Amino acid sequence: MARAAAALLSLALSAPLSAQTVQEITEEGLGYPPPLPVESLTPVDGFRTWASLEARFLELSLAAEHVARHEVGDSLFERDIFVYTVGNGAEPPPGEARPSAFILGGAHAREWASPEVVAELLEWFALEAPGDPLGAYLLDALHLVIVPVSNPDGFVKTQNHPVQTVFGGSTGWGGRDGRMRRKNLRNATETLDPPDNYREGVDLNRNFPVGWRSVSQTLITYGGTEAGSEPETQAVHAAEEFLEGTQLRLFLDFHSFGQFYYVVQTGDGMDTATGEAYEAMRDAAGGETGIVYTRSNWLVPSMSIGASDEYFATEYGAMAYTPEIRPSGGTNPFILPDAQVDAARREMRAATLAGLYYAAGPAWLQHIEFRDTTESAWEDAPAVHVETRETGAQPGERLRNVTASEAMLPGRVYTGRLRFNKPMRGAEGGALLPGFEAEEPALSLGAFAPAETAWRTSHYAGDTLEVRWEIPGGAMGPPEITLSVYTADGVGRPLDGDPAAAARWDGADGWAEWTREADEWSTLAFEGVPLVAPSEVWVLW
Q: What pLDDT, in 10s, does the model give residues 324-348?
A: 999 988 899 999 999 999 999 999 9
| More confident call, 537 vs 27 | 27
Strand partners, 178: 165
Strands (E), 200-293: 246-253, 260-265
- Reduced to 3 states (helix: H, G, I; strand: E, B; else coil), residue 34 is coil
Q: How far is CA 523 from the centre of its chain?
A: 38
Q: What is the DSSP letter of 473?
A: T
Q: What is the structure's pLDDT at 13?
A: 43
Residue in 257, 400, 394, 267 with CA at minimum distance from that of residue 328: 257
**Reported confidence tier of residue 97, pLDDT bands at 50, 70, 90:** confident
- Asked if pLDDT for residue 535 goes beyond 70, the answer is no
| More confident call, 270 vs 12 | 270
**Reported confidence tier of residue 100, pLDDT bands at 50, 70, 90:** very high
- Asked if pLDDT for residue 64 goes beyond 50, the answer is yes
- Asked if pLDDT for residue 7 goes beyond 80, the answer is no
- Residue ranges per domain, the chain? 3-7+37-358, 365-539
- Asked if pLDDT for residue 395 goes beyond 60, the answer is yes
- Asked if pLDDT for residue 303 goes beyond 70, the answer is yes
- Asked if pLDDT for residue 59 goes beyond 50, the answer is yes
Mean pLDDT of 344-368: 96
Residue 336 · residue 343 · CB < 8 Å? no
For 317, list phi and psi in degrees, rounded to 5. 65, 40
Compute the chain's Rg from CA coordinates.
Answer: 27
Q: What is the structure's pLDDT at 5?
A: 52
**Reported confidence tier of residue 528, pLDDT bands at 50, 70, 90:** very low
Mean pLDDT of 22-37: 97
**Separation of alpha carbons 308 and 117, rounded Å:** 18
**Separation of alpha carbons 418 and 364, rounded Å:** 10
**Reported confidence tier of residue 526, pLDDT bands at 50, 70, 90:** very low
**Separation of alpha carbons 233 and 206, rounded Å:** 10
234-257 residues labelled b (16+ CB within 10 A) or e (exposed): bbbebbbebbeebbbbbbbbbbbb
Mean pLDDT of 463-472: 92
333, 43, 281, 421: CA torsion to nearest 10: 170
Mean pLDDT of 21-36: 96
Mean pLDDT of 19-30: 90
Residue 400 carries which side chain, given as an amino acid letter?
Answer: R
Residue 305 · residue 322 · CB < 8 Å? no
Sheet of 383-391, strands arranged across: 398-405, 383-391, 365-372, 413-420, 464-470, 452-456
Average pLDDT, the chain: 90
Q: What is the structure's pLDDT at 482?
A: 79
Strands 164-166 and 22-24: antiparallel
- Reduced to 3 states (helix: H, G, I; strand: E, B; else coil), residue 52 is helix
Q: What pLDDT, in 10s, does the model give residues 495-520?
A: 998 877 888 899 889 999 999 888 87
**Separation of alpha carbons 326 and 427, rounded Å:** 30
331, 337, 339, 344: CA torsion to nearest 10: 100
**Reported confidence tier of residue 394, pLDDT bands at 50, 70, 90:** confident
Please report which helix (H) or strand (E) contains residue 58, including its range. Answer: helix 50-63
**Separation of alpha carbons 320 and 318, rounded Å:** 6
Residue in 285, 276, 522 with CA at minimum distance from that of residue 400: 522
Residue 173 · residue 29 · CB < 8 Å? no
Residue 230 · residue 207 · CB < 8 Å? yes
Q: What is the structure's pLDDT at 408?
A: 82
Q: What is the structure's pLDDT at 317?
A: 95
**Separation of alpha carbons 54 and 257, rounded Å:** 24
Where are the alpha helices (H) located in 68-151, listed in sequence order?
113-123, 133-141
**Reported confidence tier of residue 393, pLDDT bands at 50, 70, 90:** confident
Burial level of 40, CB count in 10 A (0-12/13-18/19+)?
middle
**Separation of alpha carbons 128 and 58, rounded Å:** 17
Look up the CATH superfamily of 3-7+37-358: Zn peptidases (3.40.630.10)
Q: What is the DSSP letter of 339?
A: G
Contacts of 361 (CB under 8 A, 6+ apart): 99, 141, 421, 422, 503, 505
User: Lowest mean pLDDT: which of 7-21, 215-229, 249-263?
Assistant: 7-21
Q: What is the structure's pLDDT at 478?
A: 53
